Every structure is written in C-alpha cells, then in structure tokens.
A and B are shown apart, each in its own frame.
Chain A
Amino acid sequence: MDVLKIATAGSVDDGKSTLIGRLLFETNSITTDKLEAIMASSKKKGLDYVDLSLLTDGLIAEREQGITIDVAHIYFSTPTRKFIIADTPGHFEYTRNMVTGASNANVSMILVDARNGVVEQTFRHFYISCLLRIPNVVVCVNKMDLVDYDQTKFEEIKAAFMAFAEKVRFPGQEISFIPVSSLYGENLVRQSAHMPWYEGVSLLSLLEAMPLEQHLSEEASRFPVQYVVRPKSEEFHDYRAYAGKVASGLLRKGERVVVLPSGQETTIAKIEKFGREIEAAQAKESISLLLEDDVDISRGDMIVPISQLPQQSRQLAATICWMDKKPLRVGGTYLLQHGVNTSRAKVSALSNLIDVATLGADSAVSELKLNEIADVQLKTAKEVFYDSFTENRANGAFILIDEGTNSTVGVGLIR
C-alpha cells in the first residue's frame, strides 16, 4: 500500500476545512465520538451548523480566532491508498508553517472560492508549490453551489489561474481543476449531477489515481551516512555497517562507489535491511551498507556510485525562504544542515527579493524578513556535496539554524 501526501492551504473562509471534513466523512474516517465532540463545540459557539473546521483546528488559539496557525496532519485511507493531508495555514504571517507542511507533499491542493476567484493567497500557495517542486497541483474551485454551478465562472477562474501559473510552473508539473461544493459534497467523492459540463473525475478519484514520484529511483543515487553500526559483540565482532536512508536513486549490491569527502573507492559488499539481506535499495528506504574495504567513514559523509558524482563546493547559490522574526543579513553566520550533514555558513550576498503576487524581483536587498523569499550566496566552512534542487529534491535542499537560539530560521533550495 502506498502513501500520498497532500498539502492544502487556505483559511476557514474558503471552505477548506469543510472540504477535508467531507472527505473524511465520506470515506468513513470520522468516528462518532469525534463527530459528537464537534457537534457539542459548535453548539457551544452558538452555531446552527456543525463546524467541521473544529476537527482540524486543534489549538485553543486557532479555535478562538477561527484561523489555522500551524500545520495539522489528517489521515484517511481508501482501498488503494493511505492519504496524509497536511492542512496548512493560508495567512501570510504563517507562510513558514505553510512551507513546513508543503515540503513533503506529492500533491498541492489549492482552494479557490468560486465567488471571489483567485486572490493573493492563491498565488502565494501556488508559488510555494512551484518553489518546492511539488509535481501535482489540484485547484478546487469551491462553493460552486453559491454561483449556481455556473460553468462560465469556473472557466474564468481557470483562465485567471493559468495566466499566473504559466509564468511560474515547471516542466512536467501537472495542474488539474475541479469544480466542487464541499458543503454538498459535489464532485468530492462522487460525480456531481449539477455540473454535467464537467467531464473530469471526482477529487477522490483523481487523488487515488495520482502517480507517485517514480522518478526518484531514476535520479542519481545518494546515500548520506546517518549512523555507524558497530555492535562489538562476540557474535558480530568485526561487523561494521553504515546506516542511513537512500536519499535518491537506487543502490545495488556489488556496485562500485566512492565515499565523500575522502574520495576513497570501494564496493558495496552487502545491503541489509534490519538483518535481512537485499539485492538493491531504492529511494526512501532505511538500510545498512556493508563495504568491501575498510574505509574511514563517519556521519555526514556521502556514498555515491563512482559514475554519478554530485556537485562539490564551499560556495552555494540558493533561493531562501526566511522563517524567523530576526532578519537574515549579509555577513550573518548560521549552521547549515544539508540532509544529515552540517557546516557553518556565512551569507555573502543577497539579491532578488520576490514579490509573490506580482512576480517582480527587487534586486537591491539589504535584509530578508520573516516569510520573504530571495536569492542568496553562501560560503560554507566544509565542502557540501549537493545537486541542484530542480534535479534532485532530496539532495538539493538545506535548512539554516541560528546558533544563538538553535531555531530553524530558513530553508534553502540550491540552484
């Protein structure tokens, strides 16, 4: 059984929570005690309907203000798939939480209120989906019941969205549009009788059929060493394995590999998965590698096939989304975490502050404030073994950590 990760964004107003609530309800994923709890809370708030957003807005502050502040994770499954929805905030102030929720998504689900059409938030969400190279985007034009299921309205919104999307989307990114009514469940799980003009499938059918990232195994193979397993027991006296998760590509037993940064070459003697030997391991699998030769390897090193070397440099050019109240400034020093490897990094230049709504870029930038996106140049203390984010998502991103507060303050996508 596979897992599809979906990121949604928006506020309560565009009916996102109702849509998620509906999906859960129609796939029998809400239990009666949870439903009863929401009904009781809705009544307490003086509402005359069941507010399904109470299901996802799990924090006191969120329920108080009727907004989503942080990512909530929601789970449901159908016969073919397990689905994980990262329900992320749509407000500008919480863009960093939106990026957090969207960073692991296979699908970005964007809601548009049919009455209001595309708004700035729609653009921001789509822009971030492109920045993070989410391969599938589904635009749900919601509240179709309030515009009399009007096809013209739907087509107008589609055209307005595409006018923006064409400027930002990347090759291979799929964008689909579905007219829905969350309140009445139209086109969510079953085809709507009110919109015979819509020839596509329901939202759930689309999500069930959505292709997963098969290309991950076709990418260059990257194995960051996470942990060295040395039992030193009687039985496994000389056992030494390098544990980690295959970041991308495919590793095979018998393959010639090089260890970075030492540059030593060796051969994969064995691939083990929790004691069981396997012939090959693909992206996202947690495994242990045993090598033919005794080489000096520690956490943070990278093992790659000799024919597929990554870039190697102490200078990085990246697009950064800033996530901290204290702005990023040229000259600032941070701890850079690239996968499981860390290095100090200093900001040497800052340029091209992006205005997400207009796509204009301001070239003269002195600092990068919370939720802003711009290009940076970094100099690292150690060499970093990377690929560009567009070629390899797993080996092309890093986070920046403020060494004073230890907080994660930014995310970088290497160009």
Chain B
Amino acid sequence: MAIHNAVFPRELEDEAIYIIREVAAQFEKPVLLFSGGKDSITLVRLAYKAFYPGKIPFPLLHVDTGHNFEETIQFRDELVAELGLELIVRYVQDSIDQQKVTEETGKYASRNVLQTVTLLDAIEEFGFDACIGGARRDEEKARAKERIFSVRNDFGEWDAKKQRPELFDMLNGKINMGENVRVFPISNWTELDVWNYIREEQLAIPSIYYSHERETFERDGQILPYSPFMNMSEEESVSTRLVRFRTVGDMTCTAAVESTAVAIEDIIAEILSATVSERGARIDDKRSEAAMEKRKQAGYF
C-alpha cells in the first residue's frame, strides 16, 4: 500500500455526526462507551463537533478491568476535564467481589470477557437505552456483519440472524423496555481512516501509541507488556524493548509491536506497510475462529 492513502475521506465524518445526532434525538438515556483507545477518542471528537457549541448531551462510561495501562487512565481523566464531560466508571473488580463473575486462571487469564457482565450491569443500573461504541467493521469478520444501530435483547445479546434491515440512512431506534441499542458511528472507517482523522484533527492520544521503552516478554510469537497481572510461566522472561501499541485494551490481552514511531506520520507509515492486522495483536480474538461473534452474542460491544 502506498503513502498517498494518507487523506481522510471527509464524508465519513459527516456520516458519523449524523449517526450521533440521531442517537441524541431518538433515545432518552444514551451513553458513550469510552476505553481511552484511539477509536473512542475519535468518537468523543465527533460527539463534540455534533453538538457544538452545545455540550455533549450524554455521559461517557468506562468499564475498568483494573488491568489498564496507567497512561490511558491519566489521558482519560485529562480529556474529561478539558471538555467538561461527565464520566461514569464501573469496575470489573466489583463484579468479581460480588461473585457475579469468576476470575479466569492460568497463563491466558484475562478480564476481557468478564467486562461484559460489568457493562450489562451498568446499562441496567443507569437504564441506558443506547450505547455508542467505537467498533469498526474492518476490524473483524463478525463486526463486518453488524448494523449501525444494533439491537440487543434484555440480556444484552446480539442475534446475528435477526438483524433489522437498515435502509439508506434511516436508522430505526425503536426498542422495547429493557432492550438497548449499540450504535457504531465509525462502522465504515478503517484503522487508517482513524489515524488520518487523528492527524488532520490534531487529536491528543495516550503516549503508549508511540514508541517507548517497556518491560515485555514473548509468548506465542507476540510481545506482551509485563505487568503484575500477567501469569507468566517459568520459561518466559522479561526484557526491555522499544515498542508501541496499535490498540489499547486490557493489558492482559493487548500485544505490543516493535516500533520506533514517535510521530503520528510514523504511525501511519507503519500501518501502511504492516503485514499484520490491528486485531492480530489482540489475544482476545485468538481464542477461536468465532471468538468475537460468541462474545457479541453474550453482550460484548
């Protein structure tokens, strides 16, 4: 792929803003799911523009696994303060303490799957009827199948075979009590579109997206960040590498890539020449061929 793809198609922004405004108009209690990653940072920017000079008329919700990169949390708090947003945080640790979920054990233990329960509890607690998420269809094959307004039943489940037809740009947000809609305004963006947007809009992003020195170890051909939450085996050993992250998820399921990218242009150049996809660095997707579809069925976003 060549460098000339480094232009952001502006009609994607118009489309996303239209979708976000539909959410504010059609739902009573929307919320924006915020992880601190580049996709949710993009969403916040779009929501800011959609209602400018008014305030974003819904809060952000962060489902905190407790296994976050410190830099992301710091970034999150700064962004919320700068834009005067309302932030709700719910903790996976609380779901564990309430014995609603059981912590996974073994080498691959992660809280990625557990956060679904915390999310569904938060939806119920606040009565959210629409959750705006930064999922993109180019990320993964089950996501490639999802509608922009994706209806979930009162258990938060996605039924792929019964999706509502979505015609032209008309979005039907009608739901029954207890159901909710997951909304994906950047469905039609690719990873490259997001980066080009961040570059053109000059958005700040957490430092871990840029090259930095970090204690890491190798597992299954991937570089994982070392942290006390990782269950390491005896053969695995920690060493310092120059790395960056392409996606920001739970520390236990996000692999790093070796990189010297210090500016956004470097990141874009790296993606253009990358031979591995973004979610190739997500251990949560590697559990099985249908890992994403199965998690979505259970209420994952």
Residues of A within 8 A of B (CB): 1-3, 27-29, 31-34, 37, 41, 55-61, 63, 69-75, 77, 79, 82, 84, 96-97, 99-100, 103-104, 226-227, 229-231, 233, 235-236, 239, 243-245, 274-275, 284-286, 299, 323, 335, 337, 339-340, 393-394, 397-399, 401, 403, 406-408, 411
Which B residues are CB-close (under 8 A) to A337?
170, 172
Residues of B within 8 A of A (CB): 1-2, 4-5, 7-9, 11-15, 17-18, 21-22, 24-25, 49-55, 137-138, 140-145, 160-161, 163-170, 172, 174-176, 187-188, 190, 192-193, 274-277, 280, 289-290, 293
Complex CA–CA separation, A154 to B13 (angstroms):
42
**Given A231-B54, A399-B167, A399-B170, A286:B9 Cβ within 8 A:** no
Which A residues are CB-close (under 8 A) to B144?
56, 58, 72-74
- The residue that A231 contacts in the complex, of B2, B55, B187, B190, with Cβ under 8 A, is B55
Question: 8 tightest CB-CB pairs across the interface, nearest first?
Answer: A58-B141, A33-B280, A274-B49, A406-B174, A231-B54, A31-B277, A286-B17, A286-B14
B2 near A79 with CB under 8 A, answer yes
Name the CB-closest residue of B to A35: B275
Which A residues are CB-close (under 8 A) to B176?
406
**Given A75-B137, A285-B14, A397:B167 Cβ within 8 A:** yes
Complex CA–CA separation, A46 to B150 (angstroms):
35
Name the CB-closest residue of A to B175: A406
Which A residues are CB-close (under 8 A) to B137?
73, 75
Which A residues are CB-close (under 8 A) to B143?
58
Name the CB-closest residue of A to B189: A75
A335 near B174 with CB under 8 A, answer yes
Name the CB-closest residue of B to A287: B14
Complex CA–CA separation, A241 to B164 (angstroms):
32
Complex CA–CA separation, A285 to B18 (angstroms):
9
- Among B2, B7, B160, B176, which residue has the most Cβ atoms of chain A within 10 A? B160
B165 near A323 with CB under 8 A, answer yes
Q: In whole Å, how far is B36's beta carbon from the nearest beta carbon of chain A?
A: 23
Q: In whole Å, how far is B246's beta carbon from the nearest beta carbon of chain A?
A: 11
Q: A60-B290, A73-B188 are in contact. List 18 more A-B contacts (CB 8 A).
A: A31-B274, A32-B275, A33-B277, A58-B144, A72-B145, A82-B9, A82-B190, A82-B193, A97-B163, A100-B166, A104-B169, A229-B54, A231-B55, A244-B18, A274-B52, A286-B18, A393-B168, A401-B174
**Given A33-B276, A55-B141, A286-B17, A70:B174 Cβ within 8 A:** no
A60 near B1 with CB under 8 A, answer no
A243 near B14 with CB under 8 A, answer no
Name the CB-closest residue of A to B55: A231
How many residue pairs at the A-B interface have CB separations less than 8 Å?
175
Which B residues are CB-close (under 8 A) to A37?
289
Which A residues are CB-close (under 8 A) to B188?
73, 75, 84
A100 near B52 with CB under 8 A, answer no
Complex CA–CA separation, A398 to B18 (angstroms):
17
Complex CA–CA separation, A299 to B21 (angstroms):
11
Which A residues are CB-close (under 8 A) to B277?
31, 33-34
Q: In whole Å, how far is A301's beta carbon from the nearest beta carbon of chain B?
A: 13
Which A residues are CB-close (under 8 A) to B138?
73-75
Q: In whole Å, how far is A223's beta carbon from the nearest beta carbon of chain B?
A: 12
B145 near A70 with CB under 8 A, answer yes
Complex CA–CA separation, A140 to B280 (angstroms):
33
- The residue that A340 contacts in the complex, of B22, B141, B190, B275, with Cβ under 8 A, is B22
Complex CA–CA separation, A32 to B278 (angstroms):
11
Which A residues are CB-close (under 8 A) to B175?
406
Q: Can you pick out 24 interface pairs between chain A and chain B where the beta carbons lie within 8 Å of each other?
A: A1-B7, A31-B276, A31-B277, A34-B277, A55-B141, A56-B141, A57-B141, A58-B141, A70-B163, A73-B137, A73-B187, A82-B190, A227-B51, A229-B54, A233-B53, A233-B54, A286-B14, A286-B18, A286-B50, A340-B22, A399-B170, A403-B174, A408-B167, A411-B167
Complex CA–CA separation, A243 to B53 (angstroms):
11
Which B residues are CB-close (under 8 A) to A103?
167-168
Complex CA–CA separation, A28 to B7 (angstroms):
18
A407 near B25 with CB under 8 A, answer no
Q: In whole Å, how far is A151's beta carbon from the nearest beta carbon of chain B?
A: 35
Q: In whole Å, how far is B198's beta carbon from the nearest beta carbon of chain A?
A: 16
B25 near A275 with CB under 8 A, answer no
Which A residues are CB-close (under 8 A) to B274?
31
Complex CA–CA separation, A397 to B190 (angstroms):
29
A408 near B164 with CB under 8 A, answer yes
Q: In whole Å, how far is A17's beta carbon from the nearest beta carbon of chain B?
A: 12
B145 near A59 with CB under 8 A, answer yes
B172 near A399 with CB under 8 A, answer yes
Name the CB-closest residue of A to B179: A406
A75 near B21 with CB under 8 A, answer no
Q: In whole Å, how far is A57's beta carbon from the nearest beta carbon of chain B?
A: 8
Complex CA–CA separation, A243 to B52 (angstroms):
10
Which B residues are CB-close (under 8 A) to A339?
170
Which A residues are CB-close (under 8 A) to B52?
229, 274-275
Which B residues are CB-close (under 8 A) to A275?
49, 52-53
Which A residues are CB-close (under 8 A) to B18?
226, 244-245, 286
A60 near B165 with CB under 8 A, answer no
Which A residues are CB-close (under 8 A) to B280?
31, 33-34
**Given A2-B9, A408-B172, A96:B165 Cβ within 8 A:** yes
A104 near B1 with CB under 8 A, answer no
B53 near A1 with CB under 8 A, answer no
- Among A28, A33, A236, which residue has the most Cβ atoms of chain B within 10 A? A33
Complex CA–CA separation, A58 to B163 (angstroms):
14
Name the CB-closest residue of B to A79: B4
- The residue that A230 contacts in the complex, of B24, B54, B275, with Cβ under 8 A, is B54
Which A residues are CB-close (under 8 A) to B4?
79
A71 near B145 with CB under 8 A, answer yes
Q: In whole Å, how far is A316's beta carbon from the nearest beta carbon of chain B?
A: 15
B9 near A3 with CB under 8 A, answer yes
Complex CA–CA separation, A56 to B143 (angstroms):
11
